[in-house]
Amino acid sequence: MSLPPLKGNQKRVIIVGAGFAGLKLAELLPIDLFQVILIDKNNYHQFQPLLYQVATSGLEPSNICFPLRKVFQNKWNVYMRFTEVTGVNQEAKTIDTGIGTIPYDYLILAYGAVTNFFNNEMVEKNSYSMKSVSEALLLRNTLLQNYEKALSAQSDEERDELLNVVIVGGGPTGVELAGAISEMRNKILPKDYSEINFREMKVYLIEAGPKLLGAMSDKSGNTVQDYLEHLGVSVIKGNAVKNFDGRIVELADGTSLHSNTLIWAAGVKGSKLKGLSDEMYSRSTRLLVDEYSAVKGTDGIYAIGDIAQMETKEYPKGHPQVAQVALQQAACLAKNMVNPFKGKSKIPFQYKDKGSLATVGRNKAVADIKKLKLRGFIAWFVWMAVHLISIIGVKNKFFVVTNWVWQYFTYDPSLRLIIRAKYRKP
């Protein structure tokens, strides 16, 4: 595969993945020292924390996505290839991709994580996940199609299965989805579908652990549960999904729920890359790295973001898989890649926890910022501000805040469109 020539003393850095970590690193590496080849399957960066709003008709996909080529229009040392990486040759220092073999001086793996179904094949086959824009759009279409089908349901049981929604996982994604779907049920759907009694629609949130938002304080977890129950969500804790056949959700305690929409937000895991040995991965399939983000047992290969597991005294199972960790790891690695050229020593990564946020809906959110515990409107405002600042692009920020303001005063997200993909016949 043809590549642009290196200029001067540049080293070639291949970054696999254009999420928070990969994008940040590509932006920080200086032009005179590094040529950057950024590889991703998509030609855009997606803001994953707001995928649930795409799924619930609150935002358009374009509001939370930004073209990668536009990001790097003014940085001539960054080149993009949109393909999939299939393997690594450590001896030759090359990677194999769908468009050919690419040599590297440094390889940065930042390709994130995938949904963890915990080897439950039936759940994986029949449920919906929330790791990409395409998955969010599929869920949006499914929810809206179910309401249309419910109008012609032949029995109460069939209608219940179409209307009921089961969300598995009490982390931020599960909590935010449950809140958004419940607000739609309470405020929007009765106006759109006057023939349906939405008081019979059930929204379940199932968490296998003892509390919601396990990474946050007990106070925040309890507050969120109160918010959800006030919205009419049935919160089930200390129980797990055993099986799902597309119609009936079987729980570990023997009970069952009727629904054809199961949304799986119960965890993520890494994925293995050919050419890297099993010893380089943790039990959760994350790459084991040292305090400098170097993949253990390799030369010139680093991992940052969700795919990396850096085990420290404070975080024996690795850092939380959140955006702030990814951004900070990218910034630290960028410094460590430049420091040798300046005669400076590398610095170990130290995570600075800036706090955790989660929202349930209008004026309902929680924030743990060190010892400060916020709730209600103030936490909700902080949540909005942090997410708005993090979105790439002035236009995207404008459209997001406009949609939020409109929905705040009208309770009416206007993006309830069923858009079916049409494929050309072979």
β partners of residue 308: 287
Instruction: Supply the pLDDT for residue 425.
Output: 58
pLDDT band for position 3 (cuts 50, 70, 90): confident
- Least trusted range by pLDDT, from 164-173, 223-232, 401-410: 401-410
pLDDT digits (tens, 9 = 90+) for 353-398: 999 999 999 999 999 998 899 999 999 999 999 999 999 989 999 9
pLDDT band for position 112 (cuts 50, 70, 90): very high
Q: Which secondary structure element, helix H or strand E, spans residue 179, and what is its range?
A: helix 172-183
Give the C-alpha distances (Å, rounded to integers) separating 396 from 54, 65, 164, 287, 370: 14, 8, 33, 33, 30
pLDDT band for position 286 (cuts 50, 70, 90): very high
Query: Residue 426: is its pLDDT beyond 60?
Result: no
| Vertex 205: Cα angle to 122 and 141 (nearest 5) | 65
**Average pLDDT value for residue range 2-22:** 93
What are the boundaries of each domain within the chain? Answer: 11-41+83-113+270-342, 121-266
Strand order in the sheet with 262-264: 233-237, 203-207, 165-168, 262-264
| Vertex 23: Cα angle to 18 and 27 (nearest 5) | 150
pLDDT band for position 157 (cuts 50, 70, 90): very high
CATH 3.40.50.10380 fits domain 121-266: no
Instruction: Supply the pLDDT for residue 152.
Output: 94
**Average pLDDT value for residue range 252-269:** 96
DSSP state of 195: T
84 is known as an active-site residue: no
Q: What is the CA radius of gyration of the chain?
A: 23
Q: Which secondary structure element, helix H or strand E, spans residue 89, and what is its range?
A: strand 85-89
**Residue 316, phi-psi category: left (phi > 0), alpha (psi -120 to 50), beta (remainder):** alpha
> Could you tell me if 37 and 81 are in contact, meaning their C-beta atoms sit under 8 angstroms apart?
yes
Both structure tokens of 103: 């040599």
pLDDT digits (tens, 9 = 90+) for 292-322: 999 999 999 999 999 999 999 999 999 999 9
Instruction: Supply the pLDDT for residue 234.
Output: 98
Instruction: Supply the pLDDT for residue 411.
Output: 79
**Average pLDDT value for residue range 145-172:** 96
Phi, psi (deg, nearest 5) at residue 323: -60, -40
Contacts (Cβ under 8 Å, ≥6 apart) of 288: 280, 281, 282, 295, 296, 309, 311
Instruction: Supply the pLDDT for residue 423.
Output: 60
Domains 11-41+83-113+270-342 and 121-266 share a fold: yes
Average pLDDT in the chain: 94
Both structure tokens of 227: 């918010």
**Average pLDDT value for residue range 323-334:** 97
Please give the Cα distance from 97 to 100 (Å, whole number).
5
Instruction: Supply the pLDDT for residue 298.
Output: 96
Instruction: Supply the pLDDT for residue 410.
Output: 81
Which parts of 244-375 fold into alpha helices (H)? Answer: 323-338
> Could you tell me if 41 and 84 are in contact, meaning their C-beta atoms sit under 8 angstroms apart?
yes
pLDDT band for position 421 (cuts 50, 70, 90): low
Q: What is the pTM of this model?
A: 0.93
Please give the Cα distance from 212 to 237 (Å, whole number).
8
Both structure tokens of 152: 């012609």
Query: Residue 413: is its pLDDT beyond 80?
Result: no
pLDDT band for position 226 (cuts 50, 70, 90): very high
How many other CB atoms are found less than 10 A from the CB of residue 176? 27
**Average pLDDT value for residue range 254-273:** 95
Which parts of 205-303 fold into alpha helices (H)? Answer: 218-231
Instruction: Please tell me which residue in 60, 158, 176, 183 is annotated as part of the active site.
Output: 176
Instruction: Supply the pLDDT for residue 269.
Output: 94
Instruction: Supply the pLDDT for residue 422.
Output: 65
3.50.50.60, 3.20.20.70, 3.40.50.261, 3.30.56.10: CATH of 11-41+83-113+270-342: 3.50.50.60
Q: Which secondary structure element, helix H or strand E, spans residue 80, and what is its range?
A: strand 78-82
